[in-house]
Amino acid sequence: MSNSIWVFAEAKEGKIKKVALEMISEAKKMAEKLGGDVSAVLMGQNVEPLAEQLGHYGANKVYLADHEVLKDYTTDAYSKVLTELIKENEPSIVLYGATILGKDLSPRVAARLEAGLATDCTGVGLDDGKLTVTRPMFAGKAYTDISFSGSKTNMASVRPNALPVTPPDESKKPEIIKVDVNINPDDIRTTIQEFVKTAGERADLTEAEIIVSGGRGMKGPENFQMLEELADVLGATVGASRAAVDAGWKAVSDQVGQTGKVVSPNLYIACGISGAIQHLAGMSTSKFIVAINKDSDAPIFQKADYGIVDDLFKVIPVLTEEFKKLKADS
């Protein structure tokens, strides 16, 4: 077993996901303590041009699996390639992003290797050379520190926006190791038939730095337009509570919460959201939370850093105009 720390570098539409750069930045600090190095695993088709960027953030090596069978993510193909790589090289730690892809891939690989895995972590570190992680429990009401022992390779998936990104050093070039991909097409039990994209070019909720979310207090789907306008000014992504999604006002892909997407933006603005425990579990790790609700007893105010007790239909247009003025003056 080596002292190498590996990061699965998820790529989508020709770009490295930000969470991969966050993990590489943290892995570099951990590797310095271990006296080891950092390797990234990059999979897909025609992704070789992305490999150098991983070196800028601290990856000493990039294992490049570039093949047409890896063009679209499938559990069978990706888990087979990654499992074989880990068996051959035996890194001490493997980190994944706690994205939809990472949440599917990490347990599949861990099970094949009989490796320890902690999911949806908000922090990673070392204790006496062993991986330790911090993760929420009981719908975010408590946090626990977990340490590993017993298996050769220990694994964790990390929430996007939970770790800081170090400034890139473009003088750093990684060693690129090309991986032979030997997969029988018959071994792949699922195929991608179609991708359906939603309209707009906003950042995915899990990677957004600013999120404006609406709940039951929005009173109808037409009123989410004012949140869209505020989001346009802030460069934010629009989310929704389960109540708004269940009412058919927003798509399931926009849902924030325990049964939706777990997010950790720098700023979360909750508009007309009471703050049910399931919703709080999905956004309580946000750096700053602003709540707008006319009910002063709403549970969301217990989590909020700043609260506005007033009618959101009065407050949001004023906020939008004030932010416009601030941007114009800057």
Tell the residue number behind the tokens 């109808």, with chain if given. 220
For residues 160 and 135, give the distance between their C-alpha atoms in angstroms, rounded to a whole number: 13
Q: Which two tokens stand for residue 232?
A: 């346009």
Residues 6+ apart with CB under 8 A from 48: 64, 66, 176
pLDDT of residue 1: 59
Question: Of 316, 314, 313, nearest to 290 (Cα)?
Answer: 316
The amino acid occupying position 162 is: A
- Measured from the Cβ of residue 322, the count of other Cβ atoms closer than 10 Å reads 11
pLDDT of residue 199: 54
Residues 6+ apart with CB under 8 A from 245: 251, 252, 254, 255, 260
Q: How far is CA 314 from CA 190, 304, 307, 320, in A?
A: 50, 20, 15, 11
Q: How far apart are the first and last CA of the chain?
A: 53
Long-range contacts of 45-50 (CB under 8 A, 24+ apart): 45/70, 45/71, 47/11, 48/176, 50/9, 50/11, 50/14, 50/15, 50/16
Per-residue pLDDT of the chain (330 residues), as tens digits, is 578 999 999 999 899 999 999 999 999 999 999 899 999 999 999 999 999 999 999 999 999 999 999 999 999 999 999 999 999 999 999 999 999 999 999 999 999 999 999 999 999 999 888 899 999 888 777 889 999 887 789 999 999 988 999 999 999 999 999 999 988 877 788 877 877 766 556 788 988 999 999 999 999 999 999 999 999 999 999 999 999 999 999 999 999 998 899 999 999 999 999 999 999 999 998 999 999 999 999 999 999 999 999 999 999 999 999 999 998 887
The answer to whether 268 and 291 are in contact (CB under 8 A) is no
In terms of DSSP bridges, do strands 154-158 and 93-97 run parallel, antiparallel, or are they unpaired?
parallel
For residues 223 and 328, give the distance between their C-alpha atoms in angstroms, rounded to a whole number: 26
Fold match, 5-187 / 210-329: yes
- Could you tell me the residue ranges of all domains in the chain? 5-187, 210-329
**CATH code for residues 5-187:** 3.40.50.620
DSSP states of 80-108: HHHHHHHHHH--SEEEEE-SHHHHHHHHH
pLDDT of residue 5: 96
For residues 215 and 244, give the distance between their C-alpha atoms in angstroms, rounded to a whole number: 5
210-329: CATH topology is: Rossmann fold (3.40.50)
pLDDT of residue 153: 92
Q: Which two tokens stand for residue 47?
A: 């992704």
For residues 312 and 183, give the distance between their C-alpha atoms in angstroms, rounded to a whole number: 55
Residues 6+ apart with CB under 8 A from 260: 242, 245, 252, 254, 282
